[in-house]
Amino acid sequence: MSKPLEPTLEALPNPFLRYFAATRPAFLSVTFVGCLLGLATATFSGIQVGPALATATLFFALMAHAGANVINDYYDALSGCDAANTERQFPFTGGSRFIQNGVLSLRATGIFGYALLAAVIPAGLWLTAVSGAELLLIGLAGLVVGWAYSAPPLQLQSRGLGEFAITAGWLLVVVGSDFVQRHGFAFVPVAAGLGFALLVANVLYINQFPDVKADAGAGKHTLVVKLGVARARWGYAVIAALAYGWPLSMVLLGQLPATALIALLPAIVSIAAARQLWSRAGQPAELAPALKLTILAASAHGLLLAIMMSLPWSRLT
């Protein structure tokens, strides 16, 4: 099977489509799932979900994720790691290639990324006004995490802290989506969301394996660079074990319904990905199937959990 073609200016003559594609829309699906999970936890608690608020929450969460994607491309271009990445597995690793292939300039990418993040602010203020002042803290924390993941001076991913940032970011997506409907904090979105957020972190973690040489050469000390490829293989299994262990413990403690155990089925997919990573970690060209399986596991877990928690017989009253 041939690899997907990287973007070119000739293939994207329409400016709107060009900028839209630069957000890497296919990878926004995990935020879509995170929002659905947050809405499901509100439903589980007996809250009537408002369609307008739910739609607005989803739209602006996707915009924030899009902005973070573009900002990541901008700073990876500045560091030189994407340009030097000859072992990338497009479209999963090595950036969007929009800057490197001359589709967008470095300056245009930076302006676009920050514009997307800035556009979320008025929307966040409106959602705060209609749901609760504490949402401002959730939104601010999410924007800071999305920016600090790539941008100096924090550059969390380059310090081996990217997985913590991603876990926090996608947990905030679930908690924030729940908060808008609930108008307050509760533990249930944490109970449901932390495992999902860890699986999203594993997507970013496994993506570091094909990029390890380019990252190291650019001084980007990701966790895989710090650990080395051989030892870093264990990290994937540890994150996955924590991701599935968390919802299991929440069911046993009565924080999630027994039906949530269905959401543990994607562990089979994570195990398959871990086995492939174990044998092919040092062969970037062979890692694409494991990268795909890791995305599938995160999305399937979140969707199954959202469905199970939305079922009438699972709800709290």
Contact 285, 251 (CB under 8 A): no
Q: If you write DSSP's letter for every residue of 178-210 in order, what string do you get?
A: HHHHHTS--SHHHHHHHHHHHHHHHHHHHHTTT
pLDDT for residue 14 is more than 90: yes
Q: Average pLDDT in the 65-81 region?
A: 95
Residue 52 maps to a domain = yes
> pLDDT at position 316, please?
54
pLDDT for residue 288 is more than 50: yes
Domain of 271, in residue numbers = 15-314
pLDDT digits (tens, 9 = 90+) for 204-259: 999 999 999 999 999 999 999 999 999 999 999 999 999 999 999 999 999 999 99
Residue 71 maps to a domain = yes
pLDDT for residue 4 is more than 90: no
Mean pLDDT across the chain: 95
Q: Average pLDDT in the 98-116 region?
A: 97
Give the closest residue to 206 by CA, choosing from 262, 263, 149, 289. Answer: 289
Counted domains in the chain: 1
Residues 203, 293: Cα–Cα separation, whole Å: 9
Residue 260 sits in a domain whose CATH number is 1.10.600
Give the closest residue to 35 by CA, choosing from 197, 163, 251. Answer: 197
pLDDT digits (tens, 9 = 90+) for 130-143: 999 999 999 999 99
For residue 315, name the pLDDT band (cuts at 50, 70, 90). low
Residue 2 maps to a domain = no
Q: Which residues does 190 contact at the CB level (< 8 Å), separation at least 6? A: 171, 174, 175
Residue 5 maps to a domain = no
Contact 190, 246 (CB under 8 A): no
For the chain, how long is the longest CA-to-CA vector?
A: 56
pLDDT for residue 21 is more than 60: yes
> pLDDT at position 2, please?
60
Structure-token pair, residue 81: 């790691």
Residue 6 maps to a domain = no
For 215, half-sphere exposure in the C-beta direction (CA atoms, 13 angstrom radius) is 27
pTM of the model: 0.95
pLDDT for residue 317 is more than 50: no
